[in-house]
Amino acid sequence: MPEVVDTCSLASPASVCQTRHLHLRCSVDFTRRVLTGSAALTVQSQEDHLRSLILDTKDLTIQKVVINGQEVKYTLGERQSYKGSPMEISLPIALCKNQEVVIEISFETSPTSSALQWLTPEQTSGKEHPYLFSQCQVSVPKELVALMSAIRDGEAPDPEDSSRKIYRFSQKVPIPCYLIALVVGALESRQIGPRTLVWSEKEQVEKSAYEFSETESMLKIAEDLGGPYVWGQYDLLVLPPSFPYGGMENPCLTFVTPTLLAGDKSLSNVIAHEISHSWTGNLVTNKTWDHFWLNEGHTVYLERHICGRLFGEKFRHFHALGGWGELQNSIKTFGETHPFTKLVVDLTNVDPDVAYSSVPYEKGFALLFYLEQLLGGPGNSFLYVAAEEI
């Protein structure tokens, strides 16, 4: 079977080496709008005689690379548009197959980094403190709170700076790098379920607690459909209005837009969608972005089953009809023969953001809904079985 090529990455493929663990330390500087810190990657060779490897970078200043206490040589290649720059690291010894090495990279981000969004105090609800969210161990000003897509593992004063505090996090379930998320701001929380806190600025926290009070019911239905929830905590974070998406399924901490705070829980299907990602996307992930529909088509399918259990089968079909209309609009916009209307797209030299549309969501759902009808109707458990097998 030929190797699947990741057209959106410049890094060494998984057949050469694989990252087994990440230990991230960083300090947040709101004045300069940068993160400084280090990333220690435990990398396992997948072949004999491995002498170098390549990592993806984008808008980073690399200060040094250390392996086994020894600085090693590295080279940054030319920037390749949206992909960033490849960083080739020379290993001090040739690795055998399955041998591991810890590579510690000291870095600083750029104020223009596309992975970070910095908000001024005026852009927040409280108007007093700045705010950072991105897609460990993190040092922040002591009046602010840090959260991550991981389990909170304690906090303490920063021994090197009395004006700062260190937050620690751990994530025991393996995740792809796009799910590593960090947020820093003036945040408060409310308990809305046995495994759920809702976080936001204080001006929104009570509204948020009311709006998302059905979260535990959705989690229980999702477990019935997809199997046990393995992530421990399922928290929600309501971001300032500039957050550009309805939701983002970061493990243990879903990011959502404040536009969901309708006051009548009428937009709760977005939470059902993000909860569903805990199985389809986060636990089982598309290998490359060419197959993005595997993440989103299955997630829409599971989301609508959750809503069907809560509000009835007619509700599920109503949302399916709405999604079918969205799919037709996307196809009309692209043109019926446009390659972006395919379920599996070819993203060679194409920024995935350019190809983004409702197609992977709704065409993927339509395929799974069709399979459901072939295999016995809405009571069929093929999704649960598939997740367990994978």
pLDDT tens readout for residues 339-357? 999 999 999 999 999 999 9
Indicate which residue of 211, 274, 303, 362 is catalytic: 274
Dist. CA 135–CA 250, nearest whole Å: 8
Amino acid, res. 30: F
CATH domain 286-389 topology:
Neutral Protease; domain 2 (1.10.390)
pLDDT digits (tens, 9 = 90+) for 68-119: 889 999 999 999 999 999 999 999 999 999 999 999 999 999 999 999 999 9
pLDDT (0 to 100) of residue 131: 54
pLDDT (0 to 100) of residue 68: 87
Q: Is 274 known to be catalytic?
A: yes
Specify burial of residue 97 (Cβ count, 10 A radius: 0-12, 13-18, 19+): exposed
pTM for the predicted model, two decimal places? 0.92
257 SS3 class? coil
Length in residues, the chain: 390
Q: Which two tokens stand for residue 360?
A: 């992977």
Q: Which of 152, 308, 281, 146 is nearest to 224 (CA)?
A: 308
pLDDT (0 to 100) of residue 135: 47
What are the structural domain ranges in the chain? 8-113, 116-267, 286-389
pLDDT (0 to 100) of residue 241: 84
CATH domain 8-113 topology:
Immunoglobulin-like (2.60.40)
pLDDT digits (tens, 9 = 90+) for 149-184: 999 999 999 999 999 999 999 999 999 999 999 999
Dist. CA 289–CA 285, nearest whole Å: 10
pLDDT (0 to 100) of residue 124: 82
Q: Is 296 annotated as a binding residue?
A: yes
pLDDT (0 to 100) of residue 244: 77
Q: Does the domain spanning 116-267 belong to CATH 3.40.50.10860?
A: no
Q: Is 23 annotated as a binding residue?
A: no
Dist. CA 258–CA 218, nearest whole Å: 20
pLDDT (0 to 100) of residue 308: 95
Q: Is 361 known to be catalytic?
A: yes
Amino acid, res. 150: A
Q: Which residues in the chain land under pLDDT 50?
A: 135
Q: Is 277 annotated as a binding residue?
A: yes
Dist. CA 284–CA 361, nearest whole Å: 16
Question: Rounded to whole angstroms, what are the CA distances from 33 to 27, 30, 117, 127, 142?
Answer: 11, 5, 9, 18, 17
Indicate which residue of 167, 211, 361, 362 is catalytic: 361
Please say whether the dihedral angle defined by the alpha carbons of residues 80, 84, 85 and 90, taken in this order, is positive or negative. negative
pLDDT (0 to 100) of residue 4: 76
